[in-house]
Amino acid sequence: MNSLSLLPAKSELERIQLMTEDDSEPTLSIVRINDIIESLKSYYPNADINLIEKAYIFSAKAHQGQNRLSGEPYLSHPLQVAYLLTKMKMDDITIATGILHDTMEDTPTTFDEIEEIFGTKIASLVDGLTKISRINFSSTEEQQAENFRKMILAMAQDIRIVLIKLADRLHNMKTLEFQTPEKQKTIAQETLDIYSPLANRLGIDWIKTELEDLAFKFLYPKEFNYLDEMIKNKKAEHIKYIAEVKKIISERLNQFNIHNEVSGRLKHYYSIYLKMLRQKIEFDQVYDLIAFRVIVDSIKDCYATLGIIHSVWTPV
């Protein structure tokens, strides 16, 4: 490892891309290093691309010969994690750490090797992730789960450790089908009790909802499949309704010269399921399946928008 050059030669980068991308038939969507770089540069044009390429080469060599349970090269996982981090608009150091995050845990790589090549900051981030991965979540009681969440936040001296761990957990949940049924339930419950609330606490709603829906799928497959079928049966109806309501809202706001962006979406499965449980109702009795978001330019416009919408639909 120590012989790795500080600046990756393009020929070596291309060779590793070929080696890691063409060796096997992918069973999941593949993220390539160029996808990560393009996504990173879209919001951080001055990012250190050499650092990203160097992390890619190091991780590829460290994980060489390792495969995921899906049969894919192991490198596919850290690349997926890094790509998810670009969706959070994280910096180049965080992206590089995402690519390297399993090297200390799953390969003979040491802290000193990473520190020598990438510096103390990245080595410390990888080390922090390794320590969190070794926590044994032995109980899912609410108080104990809260203690575990606090432990993770306390151990992560840099919040980027938690963000990388959330991206890591999200990709692992997306590939959970390759685990044994027993591990599926254990990991899904841990996700619901520990990681989804962490994402919520940090305000990353899209990760929270994805984690919840994925955990729901494995913990309550019968209920998940029922909801999935019911929602898919009404998909065309939902699409039409969203388009109609967006048009009404936008047209009314335009009449008052309020610049607006309106979006609509179906609420996520797990939240619908919880509502059905709490209110003891059937799917057909859930009347707020769809949520709308209106973005305006000022607080004044926000209150005006609320009043206009209430004049069209009666608040419940």
Structural domain spans, the chain: 10-220, 228-312
Q: How many whole angstroms from its chain centre is CA 143?
A: 25
**Which among 93, 60, 81 is positioned nearest to 133, based on CA atoms?**
81
Q: Report the distance separating Cα 178 and Cα 254, nearest Å.
A: 50
Superfamily for the 228-312 domain? Beta Polymerase, domain 2 (3.30.460.10)
The second-level CATH assignment, the architecture, of 10-220 is Orthogonal Bundle (1.10)
Say which of 91, 105, 116, 158 is annotated catalytic. Answer: 105
Does the annotation count 213 as an active-site position? no
Q: What's the pLDDT at 28? A: 46
Percent of the chain with pLDDT over 90: 77
Burial class (CB in 10 A: 0-12, 13-18, 19+), 48: middle
At residue 192, the pLDDT reads: 94
Tell me how far CA of residue 154 lies from CA of 94, 189, 279, 288, in angstroms: 19, 22, 37, 38
pTM over 0.85: no
- Would you state the structure tokens that stand for residue 298, as one six-digit string? 């000022």
Residue 34, number of CB atoms within 10 A of its CB: 9
Of 154, 107, 146, which Cα lies nearest the Cα of 130?
107
Question: What is the predicted pLDDT for the residue at 168?
Answer: 97
Give Cα separations from 106 to 101, 129, 288 (angstroms).
9, 12, 45
Is residue 243 helix, strand or coil?
helix
Active site residue 91: no
Of 12, 21, 106, 190, which residue is the catalytic one?
106
The list of the chain residues with pLDDT below 70 reads 1-29, 137-144, 155-156
